[in-house]
Chain A
Amino acid sequence: MTIHAIIDVFPVLMKGINITITVFLLSAIFGYLFAIIAGLCRLSHNLVVRGITSFYVEIFRGTSLIVQLFWLYYAIPMLFNVGIDNRLMAGVLAISLNYGAYMSEIVRGSILAVDKGQTEASIALNLSPFQRMRMVIFPQALRMMLPELGNYLIQMLKATSLVSLIGMTDILYHGNILRSTDLSAAPTVYLLLLLFYFIMALPLILLTRKGEQISKKGVAR
């Protein structure tokens, strides 16, 4: 493993960085979106809404992410003759639905953890149920969620590597191609891949720290 080899491998992996980052960012955005929607739905008074959401959460938590990805990309289009022939869409959906399911439990738990007196005070001020959630309960719950949601951000980044399995050309995909043409490059390739993921995770780790601080203080200022 020489400097020379590293200089050869680096630009090849760089070709995939766009895909990795795109999949990550989209998965994070949709993951949080699903988490919040599902977390709120699980607290709904409506039995049907709650039932459907619980079903979604348990299915996605109880099965493997790779299998979910294959379902979305290979099985569903064939069965129903619709939809997801788009790799990016399948990859992002699989990751965000899966992590959204996990994170919805955090959303739900944090909302329930907000002191009941907060709801009572906002009822006494005659805020509507939606205003209570939006202005009083959710902002406080969000502060409690931050540390854990931050941890999941890092996990989502790592999970993006799975999209190479449906042929998306992310950094892992390019690394694997390189290795299959030149087996001796394997150590360099995988060392660099570790570094790539770690360096991308660094800002996320810092972000999580920040989240923990905000959370501890209880107020963002």
Chain B
Amino acid sequence: MVEAINKINRSDMKYQTTKPIVEYKNVQKSYGDVEVLKGLNLSIYPGEKVALIGPSGSGKTTIIRMLMTLEQPTAGEIIFDGKNLWHMERKGKLVPANEKHLRELRGDIGMVFQHFNLFPHMTILQNCMTAPIQVQKEDKESARKRSIEMLEKVGLGDKLDSYPNQLSGGQKQRVAMARALVMRPKIMLFDEVTSALDPELVGEVLEVIRDIAEEGDMAMVLVTHEMDFALDVADRVIFLDNGVIAEQGSPKEVLEESNNERLQQFLHRFRN
């Protein structure tokens, strides 16, 4: 019952009464001659759960990497939390952002990677504690306490002093999520976080994402090939094709009711 209400409230946000947390404004990205994104316009709202789907090479990863400041757009603007991410003002003119500017903004953005990228020389607990202490200047005890709580939440309370190479893929990915969550981001980006996992480990990771999603207040962008999961968790599904948004809407609209031909082809491949 409570869940159902949550769900309704969340889909209400789609009606966009609040200010977006992220706005892509005519964002283009090319690698050399290859045009990956051709003028992307996309707004994501606080607390909204967006699933990004699309064929390989359609630019899904590129979209979230630009927001994580790992990749610079070729043209256009990304507005995060009301501020221009890749540009800053200097003497009344817009100039490319420097590291200091990026650091001020990216603290509210978190990301989980396909290949975990845990720090292999640190224990699980150190993996989680380091950034709150170093970046947010949180005192050690409280960072430790919060990290342990977070690791317990993802079911790894008994692994605090293990090293990443002692964990299964599913456990590693749950650590990676805990590590991102202790930073309390306003938006969290997931890049195919289950696709490097053995099939039997996918479930435990999706379960954790579902839990996070149900807490509500953090926006999430999920690049995923798990259609059932997207249908279940997302408020909005975006189908990306050839560098543009080819279809978007509620999970039901996109995954079940759309008659976009490319989308049909794409989904067909997943249903078998």
Contact B110 A218 (CB under 8 A): no
Instruction: Report chain A residues within 8 Å CB of B179.
Output: 125
Report whether B119 and A136 are in contact in the complex, using a CB–CB cutoff of 8 Å. yes
Query: Assuming A117-B115, A124-B68, A127-B134, is B110 touching A219 (CB within 8 A)?
Result: no
Complex Cα spacing A117 to B119, Å = 10
Interface set, chain A 84-116, CB cutoff 8 A to B = 115
Contact-residue bracket for chain B: 20 to 34
| Interchain CA distance A180-B111 in the complex, whole Å | 72
Cα distance A20–B183 in the bound complex, in angstroms: 52
Query: Is A128's CB within 8 Å of the partner chain B?
Result: yes
Query: Is B120 interfacial (CB 8 A cutoff)?
Result: yes
Choose the segment among B37-45, B79-87, B99-107, B213-221 that binds chain A (4+ C-beta atoms closer than 8 Å): B99-107
Asked if A125 and B103 make an inter-chain contact with CB atoms under 8 angstroms apart, the answer reads no
Question: Judging by beta carbons under 8 Å apart, are B70 and A127 in contact?
Answer: no
In the complex, whether A16 has a CB less than 8 A from a CB of chain B is no
Expressed in whole angstroms, the Cα–Cα distance for A34 and B179 within the complex equals 35
Other A-B pairs beyond A126-B183, A220-B121, 6, CB < 8 Å? A123-B69, A124-B70, A128-B135, A131-B134, A218-B165, A219-B120
Q: Chain A: how many interface residues by the 8 Å CB criterion?
A: 23
Query: Which A positions have Cβ atoms within 8 angstroms of B?
Result: 115, 117-118, 120-129, 131, 135-136, 139-140, 143, 218-221
Contact with B163, one of A121, A143, A219 (Cβ below 8 angstroms): A219
- 27 sampled A-B residue pairs with Cβ under 8 A: A120-B70, A121-B117, A121-B118, A121-B119, A123-B68, A123-B69, A123-B70, A124-B109, A124-B111, A124-B180, A125-B130, A125-B131, A125-B183, A126-B106, A127-B130, A127-B134, A127-B135, A128-B103, A131-B135, A135-B134, A139-B121, A140-B119, A218-B121, A218-B165, A219-B120, A219-B121, A221-B163
Q: List chain B residues, Cβ under 8 A from A125.
A: 130-131, 135, 179-180, 183
Assess whether B113 is interfacial by the CB under 8 Å rule.
Answer: yes
In whole Å, how far is B248's beta carbon from the nearest beta carbon of chain A?
A: 26
Contact A117 B135 (CB under 8 A): no
Residues B126-155 near A (CB distance < 8 A): 130-131, 134-135
